[in-house]
Amino acid sequence: MTRVAVVDIGSNSTRLLVADVGAGVTEVERRSIVTRLGEGVEATGRLGEQPRERVYEALAEYAAASAEHGATKAVAVMTSAVRDAANGGEFAATINERYGLNARTLSGDEEAKLTFLGATAARTPEPGERLLVIDIGGGSTELVIGERGNVAFHVSTQVGVVRHSERHLHSDPPTPDELQALSDDAGPALAQAVPDAERTRVTAAVAVAGTPTQCARIELGYAPDDVEGHVLSLPALDAMLERLAALPLAERREVPGLDPARAPTIVAGVVVLTRALAAFGLQAVEVSDRDILWGAALELASAT
């Protein structure tokens, strides 16, 4: 059994998982802070000073927690915002220097592998199941297709909740035209990123990360620690989108089950999730908390 600490530095949130990894993964502690590292990257091509400082504050807290729990291995994985930014390499070097984390900017292939590994690690597939894993981030959405734990196809799209909120949603609440523009941008981008032959073979979907877990909690009306396996139907998501999009941001922050910090991007998140399901002709999606954090924990524990 190895105790590991994994930090996922995403475009919208910075998350920590401390876990004991052996035959499986036993979570010791999990934390998430909305840091919005990807804020402004769409317009400037660089990670802004304030977003970076928000991440550094979160990492200081996480480093203390990792030490307190006695983690013997630690890694930070970084995805779309850092890959896309001109100063991403400098940011990664600062993290290594200040916090003693092995900061890795993942390639698309690595991100797909770890996301699928995490999402399927404790899941029993149905016979003949061709599974789609949807990972909606702040700057990108990963679509990973596989069978029996093996990745068969993956693509990273430039569709993300921070990116597309900044690009399209300028009113409070957003106007119908803004919502339609977002949908018209995200939907074709997701559908065209995957060949028809791959899309038509998918039989089920699992969605990971903040958007689906928040949607599950909104549907439940409260915020349980565990929403693993909760099923969201496409009609329910459409109704949820209509409700959330009609609310000004201040009122959206008060929606039961929704983390107030995710209120600014949840509308774009629901649009992206519904468009992803529509692209694959699916009517429902299973929610999972077991994502790239689990995948990275398993990989880190197995490394010599």
Tell me what percent of the chain is helix, strand and coil, each rounded to the nearest 5: 45, 25, 30
Q: 125 vs 163, which has greater pLDDT?
A: 163
pLDDT higher than threshold 70 for residue 292: yes
**Model confidence, pTM:** 0.87
Compute the mean pLDDT over every residue in the chain, rounded to the nearest whole number: 92
pLDDT higher than threshold 90 for residue 24: no
Other Cβ atoms closer than 10 A to 64: 10
What are 200's two structure tokens? 């038509």
- The pLDDT score that the predictor gives to residue 170 is 97
Task: Write out pLDDT tens, residues 11-20.
Answer: 889 999 999 9
* Domain architecture of the chain: domains with CATH: 2-109 (3.30.420.40), 123-288 (3.30.420.150)
pLDDT higher than threshold 80 for residue 65: yes
pLDDT higher than threshold 70 for residue 304: no
Q: What is the mean pLDDT of residues 246-258?
A: 97
Q: Could you give the percent of the chain with pLDDT greater than 90?
A: 75
Q: What is the mean pLDDT of residues 221-248?
A: 95
Q: How far apart are CA 12 and CA 15, in angstroms?
A: 10
Q: Could you give the percent of the chain with pLDDT greater than 70?
A: 100
Q: 22 vs 221, which has greater pLDDT?
A: 221
State the alpha helices, DSSP H only, in the chain: 41-44, 49-69, 80-84, 88-99, 108-120, 161-168, 176-192, 196-199, 210-220, 234-245, 249-252, 263-279, 292-302
- The pLDDT score that the predictor gives to residue 220 is 96
SS3 85: coil
Q: How far apart are CA 289 and CA 204, in angstroms?
A: 17
- The pLDDT score that the predictor gives to residue 15 is 94
